[in-house]
Amino acid sequence: MKSLIFRAVAPFLTSLMVLFSIFVLLRGHNEPGGGFIGGLIAVSALAIYGIACGVETVRRAIYFHPMAIAGAGLFAATIAGLISMAARVPFMTGLWIYPSLLGVEVPLSTVTLFDCGVYLVVVGAISSIALSLEERGGE
């Protein structure tokens, strides 16, 4: 894509979208949103960045290989399930703790960890697909 405006705007747009995707991920438990949607928003962000500035730039920007991100996500999701087993409740039972950070009560749970895992798998796997196709398509 040769448009100068697009190339100039793309990094900002991408970062905003990634931020928004994390917001969607975290609010997903109580409002529309969640790991799948958040992940897809992030993938779109990366795809736009890739079209604007080239796949190589994106690969450098995300630092890790996309499939590594997906693997980490799947790992996190599995761990979230296994923690329950360690606590002697059936696999995948949600566990919640409410630690107080700087006077604010923050609800943390294995479910949140699991949703983050979903997010990472979607981001990793689908951006890997999109990026590898963009790479070949541009040849």
Partner 1 sequence: MDAAALTLLALSLPFLGALVAPLLTRLLGHNAAWLLALFPAAIVLHFLRFWPEVARGEIVTGGYEWIPSFNVSFSWLIDGLSLTFVLLIAGIGALIVLYSGGYLKGHPQQGRFFSFILMFMGSMLGLVASDSFLMLFVFWELTSITSFLLIGFDHSREAARRAALQALVVTGGGGLFLLAGLLIIWNVTGVTQLSLLSSFGAEMRESPFYLAALLLVLGGAFTKSAQFPFHFWLPNAMEAPTPVSAYLHSATMVKAGVYLLMRLNPVLGGTTEWQMLLPLFGGTTLVIGAVLACRQTDLKLMLAYTTMASLGLLVMLTGLGFPHAIEAAALYLVAHSLFKGALFMVAGIIDHETGTRDVTRLGGLRSAMPLTFVIALAAALSMGGLPPFFGFLAKEEIYYALAGPDRRAMVFAALAILGNALMFAVAFAVALKPFVGARVETPRPAHEAPLLLWLGPALLAAKGLSAALLSDLTHELVSTPMATAIAGAPRQVTISVIPHVGVPLALSLATALLGIVFYLNLSRLRSFVATILADIGWGPDRGFDQFMRGLVRFSVALTRRLQSGRLDVYMTTTFVVVAAVLWGAPLYYGELPNAPFFAGDVPLHELAIMAIAVIGLLAVVLAADRLTAIVSLGIQGFAVAVIFLLYGAPDLAFTQFMIETLSVVVLALVMTRLRLSPSDHRPLGQKIPDLAVALACGLGFGLMLLKVTGIPFDASLTEFFNLYSKTIAHGANVVNVIIVDFRGTDTLGEIAVVMITGLAILSLVRLRAGSMRRIADNDPDAEDRA
Partner 2 sequence: MEAWFALLVGIFFTVAIYLLLSKSIIRVLLGVAILGNGVNLLIFTGGRLTRGVPPVIPEGADALAGPAANALPQALILTAIVISFSFFAFLLVLAWRAYEELSTDNTDEMRVAEPQDEPAPPLGY
Among 8, 87, 107, 108, binds partner 1 (CB under 8 A): 107
**Three-state SS for 112?**
helix
Give CA–CA dist 71/62, Å, rounded: 15
DSSP string for residues in 53-85 = H-HHHHHHHH-S-HHHHHHHHHHHHHHHHHHHH
- Hey, what's the torsion of the CAs at 35, 36, 41, 44, to 10 degrees? 130
| Closer Cβ to partner 1, 11 or 81, answer by number | 81
| Closer Cβ to partner 2, 62 or 126, answer by number | 126
Q: Where on the chain is the footprint of partner 2 (CB under 8 A)?
A: 30-32, 36, 40, 122, 125-126, 129, 133
Task: Name the residues that contact partner 1, by CB under 8 A.
Answer: 28-37, 40-41, 43-44, 47, 51, 66-67, 70-71, 73-74, 77-78, 81, 91-92, 94, 96, 107, 109, 111, 114-115, 117-118, 121-122, 124-126, 128-130, 132-137
